Amino acid sequence: MQITLPLLAFAFTTSSLALVLPRSQYGSWAVSVSKSAYANGYQSQTVSANFTSDAYPTGIVSTCKYVYNPMAEPHESSGCDNEAFSYEYDGQTIKLQQVLEQPSKQTVFGDAPLTLKSDTVGRTFSGETTVDVSSAIA
């Protein structure tokens, strides 16, 4: 039996694709983070995440905002438009958590490395990544 070069190349291509294609069976988030900081002390951070899965093919979009304004009272404000979603970002890793109702009520968790890149002025930083669900509890 003789194996031709094109057949061998096809076998390697399809086997490497099989390693890349699997995604979390519970879904994933497309997440973006943007941060700004100014000389007067004003700081802001916006996190936007779109969770998709077989149960939520059109996605659940959540946006969280944090603002520190030394000229305002109160100085700090923060919140998310979806109380079922929360996040932590330490400058290197983003950790996400979300309560889902379908296919059954559960809380899903995931984390991924995320590095923010600076704009040309150095006041605004942004980055995006995909976070797969790594665990879930009912």
- Please give the model's pTM, rounded to 2 decimal places: 0.79
Q: Is 30 within a domain?
A: yes
pLDDT at 13 over 60: no
Rounded mean pLDDT of 5-31?
Answer: 55
Task: Please state, in angstroms and rounded to a whole number, the distance separating the CA atoms of residues 61 and 31.
Answer: 10
Give the per-residue pLDDT at 22. 46
* Within a domain: 3: no
The CATH number of whichever domain residue 30 belongs to comes to: 2.40.350
Query: Is 82 within a domain?
Result: yes
**Does the structure show a pLDDT above 80 at 15?**
no
For residue 24, what pLDDT is reported?
Answer: 65
**Does some domain include residue 5?**
no
In a domain, 62, yes or no: yes
pLDDT of residue 107: 97
In a domain, 130, yes or no: yes
Indicate the number of domains in the chain. Answer: 1
- pLDDT of 5 > 90? The answer is no
List the one residue out of 27, 75, 66 whose CA is nearest residue 48.
66
pLDDT of 73-84, one tens digit each? 999 999 999 999
Q: How does residue 10 score in pLDDT terms, banded at 50, 70 and 90?
A: very low
For residue 64, give its domain range.
24-137
Judge whether 52 lies within some domain: yes
CA angle in degrees (0–180, nearest 5) for 78-63-44: 45
pLDDT of residue 136: 94
The pLDDT tens digits of the residues spanning 119-137 come to 988 889 999 999 999 999 9
Residue 53 located in a structural domain: yes
